[in-house]
Amino acid sequence: MKGTLWYCYAVASRSSPGALDDVGGVSDTEVSAVRYNDLAAIVSPVPEAEFDESALRSGLEDIGWLESVARAHNRVVDEVTRRGTALPFRLATIFRDHEALTAMLAAREAELLAALARVSGMVELGVKVYASTASAPGADDKADTGSTEPDARPGLSYLRRKKHERDTRESGWRAAMEHAITTDEALTAMSGGRRAHRPQSPELTGISEQNVLNVAYLVAGDDIDAFVAAAQRLQDESAACRIEVTGPWAPYSFALDTAAGGAEGHEHQDGRDAVGAEPR
């Protein structure tokens, strides 16, 4: 039987967590706070057998395990965020003991406090823009291909049909991209930060429409309604796109840039790698 490690969900302002007895952590663990000056790390004791490096490597490949840890992580972060300001940590951030945890809080105290101040009163909203399938090749193409009259040159007819399909697709795509850019600019102007995520693949989401934009915005809590209304207006302005808003989320997409001392609204298509190397 191996020992215990400490799973860290978030860092909060010291005063905000309150009692966490009723919040369930990952792997049915209890959640508690480890305090250092004005900071509180929100943690759970987890079995080393499940969370040491080799277990994590295989666990992260297991969709069931990954989902249960991800949902528990988010549940804890949501609850802490509901009570005050918190800076979420990346999934599966593990400390060996309280000393290591406290040493981290001591070493990064100033930047964590600064990042907490920056996201105070803010939420993250996700916006996904999909190229609408309404303008994709559809029923009217069938009329063009008119199979009733035999074509003297079936090869040419085929090429024409293909070209028409491609042109339709491309013009729909272009219109979708243009409106996605308009949307992004309008919503960026209403936000306190922007970070692009990778567009989601249809294979993973089961949504056949092409996801052309997947962006997180940092929005003041008081501006949520106005932001969503703006997204809905933008949706109504164009048939080329479908716009989806998710959230509010804890500021996951902004914890990283701020804690690394990065620039506001800095864009990382694949930020994970860049951030570690970013100078403070």
Partner 1 sequence: MTPEAPARHPAELREVWKSGGTEPSLADRDISLVDLLDRLLAGGVVLTGDLALSIAGVDLVHISLRALITSVKENRPSPLQW
Taking CB under 8 A as the criterion, which residues in 136-195 touch partner 1?
Answer: 195
Q: Is 75 in the site for partner 1 (CB under 8 A)?
A: yes
Q: Are 118 and 86 in contact (CB under 8 A)?
A: no
Q: Which amino acid is present at 40?
A: A
Which residue's CB is nearer to partner 1, number 179 or number 242? 242
Q: Is 270 in the site for partner 1 (CB under 8 A)?
A: yes
Buried b (16+ CB within 10 A) or exposed e, 168-188: beeebbebbbebbeebbeebe
The count of chain residues that interact with partner 1, using the rule CB under 8 A, is 79
> Site for partner 1 (CB under 8 A): which residue of 103, 134, 181, 263?
103
Task: Quote the least distance from Cβ 87 to partner 1, whole Å.
Answer: 6
Round to whole Å and give the CA distance between 46 and 26.
8
Q: Is 89 in the site for partner 1 (CB under 8 A)?
A: yes
121: which 2 tokens?
């009163």
- Considering all CA atoms of the chain, what is the largest pairwise distance in Å, rounded to the nearest integer? 84
Q: Are 221 and 122 in contact (CB under 8 A)?
A: yes
> Site for partner 1 (CB under 8 A): which residue of 5, 76, 187, 241?
5
Which residue's CB is nearer to partner 1, number 116 or number 180? 116
Q: Is 19 in the site for partner 1 (CB under 8 A)?
A: no
Positions in 239-268 near partner 1 (CB under 8 A): 244-249, 252-256, 259-260, 268
Which residue's CB is nearer to partner 1, number 74 or number 145? 74
Q: Is 22 in the site for partner 1 (CB under 8 A)?
A: no
Which residue's CB is nearer to partner 1, number 115 or number 187? 115
Return the DSSP state at 269: T
Task: Quote the least distance from Cβ 140 to partner 1, whole Å.
Answer: 26
> Site for partner 1 (CB under 8 A): which residue of 19, 49, 100, 134?
100
User: Which among 3, 4, 96, 79 has a CA at the least distance from the CA of 42?
Assistant: 79
Task: Quote the least distance from Cβ 164 to partner 1, whole Å.
Answer: 31
Q: How far is CA 59 from CA 27, 92, 267, in A?
A: 12, 10, 30
Round to whole Å and give the CA distance between 166 and 199.
22
Q: Is 104 in the site for partner 1 (CB under 8 A)?
A: yes
Round to whole Å and give the CA distance between 90 and 60.
13
Q: Is 82 in the site for partner 1 (CB under 8 A)?
A: yes
Q: Is 129 in the site for partner 1 (CB under 8 A)?
A: no
Q: Is 91 in the site for partner 1 (CB under 8 A)?
A: yes
Q: Are 183 and 243 in contact (CB under 8 A)?
A: yes
